[in-house]
Chain A
Amino acid sequence: MRKAKILVVDDEVEFASALAERLQLRGYDTKAVFRGEDTLAIAKSAPPDIILLDLKMPGMNGIEVLMTIRQFAPDIEVILLTGHIDLRERIEGMRIDDFNYIMKPVDMAELLEKIEKAIEKHR
């Protein structure tokens, strides 16, 4: 079976690198980028199966990335990484908990579960 490809997108370098490495150890083909803009490039050149996307980033923030990905690469599953949940926020008219999300600091077991579910869906 082809290993699932995961892209970690977070402006916290330490965090993104460590998480990516941990996922790599668990058998996923993981990459990390630290800027929203870079996501699109990779999504085009080497599209991942799953993107772990931080919402709050300087420059192009998570929401914009999300919109763009859904537009250009709707097959890619996006799991949002978020420090807090603000239910008042709306993304395309939907509340945040209508999306797939996980809270930071990340519970590895929970994250793995979500990733597997996403892969299942994707299949």
Chain B
Amino acid sequence: MKIRDKLFFAFGFYILLAVLGGFLAYTELSTITKKLKLVETADDMTNHFLEARRFEKNYLLFRDQDSFQEFKVYMGRLQGDIDKIRAEIIKESGKENYEKLNNTIAEYDRLVDSIPENFESQRKHISSLIDLGREIEMTLRGKELEIFLVLRRYEKNLIMYKDRTAYETFTKTFASMDKGIAKELKNYGGLVERLFQLFVNEHATIEALRLKAREIESFTVSLSRRERENIDRILTISVRVLLAALFAIILLGTIVNIRLASSIATPIRKLERVTKKVATGDFSELIEVKGKDEITSLEISFNQMEDRLKDSLSSLELAVKNLHEKQEELVEAEKLASLGRIAAGVAHEINNPLAIINEKAGLLQDILLMSGDLEQKEKFLNLIEGIVTSVNRCRAITHRLLGFVRRMEVTFEAMDINETVREVREFLGTDISLKSIRFEMNLKEGLPQVRSDKVQVEQILLNIIKNAIDAVEEGGLVQVETAMKEGNTVQILIRDNGPGIPKDQLKRIFEPFFTTKERGKGTGLGLFVSYGIMKKLGGAILVESEIGKGTSFVVEIPVQPRV
């Protein structure tokens, strides 16, 4: 999957989680808010009812209109509360209980409502009793009055205590009285009886309404309690859910983040690692391409780049190597050329005085030879001979030096290499047999004719083979082989088992005047000149040597001279 899509999904995922979390929190909070309102109202119910009861009690106590009004007010508030949360009550307690509550409240209300009438009746009766009592008191005298006063006292007790005992005491006394003593006595008794009945009713009513009140109270209290419990439960659950959600979010978020980050970071690290390797020149590792996202094409390109870099580097290294070789060759050729020029210049300058010495010495010789006996004639002739010899040595050197310059012009002709080798062998026959040298020739048959300067090649081969002969001991081995190289070069290999040439000398072997022979033997120009001529002919001379094993020279001549 593309990284962009992954990022997109991760982002969407987080948004989704946030939205879900928010939604969750919102619903929980809404529920709690509602429940709180419920609890509030339930509390209100309890409070209002308690107030109502207070005023009820006050009214029962003081029988004042204000208390009764207040009672009514609070009962109204209670009803208002119930109406407000009617649906919740039904949900919480069931329709039955709701009806029951309403009925109970109605009942309670009715009961309380009935009390004022009772109180009014009581008041009326008591008032009548007072009047009637007084009336009767006035009509009675003596013992009858006493008894009546006792009765009246019991009546007052009854009014005061309102209980059955007081009433029974009254009725007992009343029953024993003669009803005829006063006309109104029967009424009086009747009033007291009816008053007592009112008291009984009052008591019963109060009992009943207390019962109802308690029912109502317990309902409201339990309603509050249950709603509070609900809220607690909801809160607890909410907290748990939110914590779980938080944990899940953190966990999932972390996992998603790690996966996402690593899906980007890992390939980048891989790239970084391989890049570092490539930077140090190590092209051994390519990137393993997995997956198909934006990084993939980068990885593929990187691999291609690495391959190209590797190839470019190799061909560059090769080109530089070739360049260096060519440069060295060029420098060598330049060196040779300038050395040659200098040598030629010197030789040329020296030739003139040399020629003079030569002639003068020659003349001395001539004159001496022609004169008769002379003291020290022999000695003179010897001395002159010495001069002449030295002059000849000089001449050999200068001629060879100049020969090198002269031979800058080479002439090409068709020649047979093997035949040339045989001719040189012939030429050196004496030297070979004198040292009893084992001379082995291994000339490949069928070599093509070569277009080169026969005289020069002959001279060079002569030079090198002579060197080999000079290098080996008595009975030493000199091998000459010819072969083809790559179809357009003929190789002549000259190998000897002489003492070999040390490495530091090997480097300088083609330098002019460099010779390992003793003074007076060799000019040190042979290889120098040969090397130059071979270069002119488009070929080369190579040398290898190992101390104690021997030396090998290889002369390479192109079949067709390179233009």
Q: A residues bordering B, Cβ < 8 Å?
A: 12, 14-15, 18-19, 21-22, 25-26, 83-88, 103-106, 108
17 CB < 8 A contacts A-B: A14-B359, A15-B352, A15-B356, A21-B363, A25-B366, A25-B370, A83-B352, A84-B347, A85-B406, A88-B409, A104-B352, A104-B355, A105-B355, A105-B357, A105-B359, A105-B394, A106-B358
Within the complex, what minimum Cβ distance (angstroms) separates A49 from chain B?
Answer: 21
Interface residues on B, range: 20 to 34
**DSSP class of B's interface residues: helix, strand, loop or mixed?**
helix
Within the complex, what minimum Cβ distance (angstroms) separates A112 from chain B?
Answer: 12
- Please name all residues of chain B whose beta carbon is closer than 8 Å to the beta carbon of A26 when the two chains form the complex: 366
- Please name all residues of chain A whose beta carbon is closer than 8 Å to the beta carbon of B406 when the two chains form the complex: 84-87
Within the complex, what minimum Cβ distance (angstroms) separates A56 from chain B?
Answer: 9
Q: Residue B554 at the A interface, CB < 8 A?
A: no
Q: Residue B260 at the A interface, CB < 8 A?
A: no
- Identify the closest chain A residue to B359 (Cβ): A18
- Tell me whether B359 and A15 are in contact (CB under 8 A): yes
Within the complex, what minimum Cβ distance (angstroms) separates A104 from chain B?
Answer: 4
Task: Tell me the complex Cα distance, A100–B351, Å.
Answer: 19
Task: Tell me the complex Cα distance, A34–B249, Å.
Answer: 120
Task: Tell me the complex Cα distance, A85–B400, Å.
Answer: 11
- Tell me whether B356 and A22 are in contact (CB under 8 A): no
- Identify the closest chain B residue to A85 (Cβ): B406
- Tell me whether A106 and B359 are in contact (CB under 8 A): yes
- Please name all residues of chain A whose beta carbon is closer than 8 Å to the beta carbon of B72 when the two chains form the complex: none
Beyond A84-B351, A104-B352, A106-B355, is A18–B362 a contact (Cβ under 8 Å)?
Answer: yes
7 further A-B contacts with Cβ under 8 Å, apart from A25-B370, A103-B399, A104-B358, are: A14-B359, A18-B363, A84-B347, A84-B402, A86-B405, A104-B352, A108-B362
Contact partner, B362, options A12, A22, A85, A103, Cβ 8 Å: A22
Contact partner, B409, options A22, A87, A103, Cβ 8 Å: A87
Q: Residue B542 at the A interface, CB < 8 A?
A: no
Ranked nearest first, the 3 interchain pairs of A and B with the lowest CB-CB distance are A18-B359, A105-B358, A104-B355
Within the complex, what minimum Cβ distance (angstroms) separates A88 from chain B?
Answer: 7
- Please name all residues of chain A whose beta carbon is closer than 8 Å to the beta carbon of B362 when the two chains form the complex: 18, 22, 108
Task: Tell me the complex Cα distance, A23–B12, Å.
Answer: 121
- Tell me whether B351 and A14 are in contact (CB under 8 A): no
- Please name all residues of chain B whose beta carbon is closer than 8 Å to the beta carbon of A15 when the two chains form the complex: 352, 355-356, 359
Within the complex, what minimum Cβ distance (angstroms) separates B462 from chain A?
Answer: 21
Within the complex, what minimum Cβ distance (angstroms) separates B78 from chain A?
Answer: 143
- Please name all residues of chain B whose beta carbon is closer than 8 Å to the beta carbon of A18 when the two chains form the complex: 356, 359-360, 362-363
- Tell me whether A14 and B356 are in contact (CB under 8 A): yes
- Please name all residues of chain B whose beta carbon is closer than 8 Å to the beta carbon of A21 when the two chains form the complex: 363
Task: Tell me the complex Cα distance, A114–B283, Å.
Answer: 75
Which among B394, B395, B406, B409 has the greatest number of chain A C-beta atoms within 10 A?
B406
Task: Tell me the complex Cα distance, A86–B370, Å.
Answer: 38
- Please name all residues of chain B whose beta carbon is closer than 8 Å to the beta carbon of A88 when the two chains form the complex: 408-409
- Please name all residues of chain B whose beta carbon is closer than 8 Å to the beta carbon of A84 when the two chains form the complex: 344, 347-348, 351, 402, 405-406
Within the complex, what minimum Cβ distance (angstroms) separates A68 from chain B?
Answer: 24
